[in-house]
Amino acid sequence: MRLAVVLLCALVAVQVALLAAPADAGELVVGYYDKKCRGVENVVQWHVRRALKTNRRAGAALVRLLFHDCFVRGCDASVLLDASPENPHPEKEAPVNIGLAAFDLLEEIKAAVEDRCPGVVSCSDILIYAARDAASALSNGNIHFDVPAGRLDGLVSSAAEAQAELPDSTFTVQQLIDNFARKDFDVEELVILSGAHSIGVGHCSSFTGRLTAPPEQINPAYRNLLNHKCHQGANPAVVNNVRDEDYETVARFMPGFTSRVRKISDFLDNTFYHNNLARIVSFNSDWQLMTHTEARGHVHEYADNATLWDGDFADSLLKLSKLSMPAGSKGGIRKKCSIATHPLY
C-alpha cells in the first residue's frame, strides 16, 4: 500500500511538472491532439470560416494576432490576456498593438473546444490553428501549412515588453533588420512577412509621418487620399491595401487606379509588393524596404511571382509559430483565453 501511494505521488509530480514546463519548439507535433481531442482542428476551422463569411477582416486580425503574440515571449497566447492584478498592463495595451481584434472570436472557439475536450487544448494552439485557417481562407487556399501543436498558455503579459519587442511602423530598415534578427529571421523573411500588409487596417497614428512624406517616398495622390481618410475622425482606421478602399474615394484621388479596386476585400496575396513598388503603402516601415538593396530585390522577386510568395509566406508563418516561451517560463491550459487563472488546468 505504501509503495502504491509513493508511486501515485510520483506520477502526480511528473504530471504537474509537465504542465508547468512549456513545450519546446522542437517538441511540438503535428497531430498532437489526434488522440487527446479528436477533430479539434475541424472545430477551429468551422468557426473561423463562419466568421469570415460575414467579416473577412476578422481573418486579417487573426493573422496579425499570430505575429503579435509569437514575437513577444514566444507563442503563449500572452497577447490575449486582459488586465489583472498579476498583469496590470497586458500586451494588448501597448501602443504598438493598437487595433488588435478577433479576441471574441477566439473566446468563442475556446468555449466550443472546452465543451468538447475540457482542459486539453491551449489558447496558444487555438490561435495558431485559427490564424493558419484564416490565411488559407483569405488566400483561396494558396497559403496553408500543417500546425505542430503542444504549446502551453503563458502567465505573463506586459505592455512594456510588447512595445520593446515588436517592430514599430516608424522603424528604419536597419531597425527592422535588427529587430527580426533577434528572433532569427533574416532580411528575406522580413520582406516575406511584411506581405501580410496586403490585408487588414492601420490607424492614422501609425503612419503620421507618411502624410507629409516627399513624392519620392509616397505617391502624392495616395498621400492626399490618406490625408482625406485621416481627417474623418479621431485616429480612424484605414485599409492597408488601397485596393480595398471604397471605389468613390479611389475615383476621387486616384482615378487611374479604380480598375484595381477589389470587389472582395482582404485577399491575402502579393499585391503588397506591387503597391510598394508604386509607392502606395501607408507605413514608413513598409516603404523602408525599398531603401535596402537586398530587401528591395525581394520586393521585386515577390511582385513577379505570387506563387513563390504564397509558399514562402506559409513557411515563414510556420517558423513564427514555433517561437517558444523564454527559458524557465511556466504555463498551462487556460479555461478562458483572456484570464490566466491560478492554478490553470
* Binding-site residue positions for substrate: 167
Q: Which residues pair with 201 in a beta bridge?
A: 239
Q: Cα(64)–Cα(58) distance, rounded to whole angstroms?
A: 10
Q: What does the radius of gyration of the chain's CA atoms come to, in whole angstroms? A: 21
Instruction: Please report which residue ranges of 209-339 form alpha helices under DSSP H.
Output: 220-230, 247-253, 271-277, 284-288, 293-304, 306-321
Q: Cα(188)–Cα(194) distance, rounded to whole angstroms?
A: 10
Pick from 96, 89, 61, 300: nearest CA to 188: 300
Count other Cβ atoms within 10 Å, centred on residue 249: 15
Give the CA-trace dihedral at 24, 30, 34, 39, to 10 degrees: 110
Q: Cα(260)–Cα(76) distance, rounded to whole angstroms?
A: 39
Q: Cα(176)–Cα(185) distance, rounded to whole angstroms?
A: 10
* Burial (CB count within 10 angstroms: exposed 0-12, middle 13-18, buried 19+), residue 293: exposed
Contact partners, residue 34, CB within 8 Å, separation at least 6:
none
CA 22 to chain centre: 21
100 within 8 A of 172, measured Cβ to Cβ: no
Instruction: Report the binding-site residues for Ca(2+).
Output: 69, 72, 74, 76, 78, 91, 246, 249, 269
φ, ψ at 339 (rounded to 5°): -125, 120
Q: Cα(152)–Cα(124) distance, rounded to whole angstroms?
A: 7
Catalogue the active-site residues.
Answer: 68
Instruction: Report the binding-site residues for heme b.
Output: 197
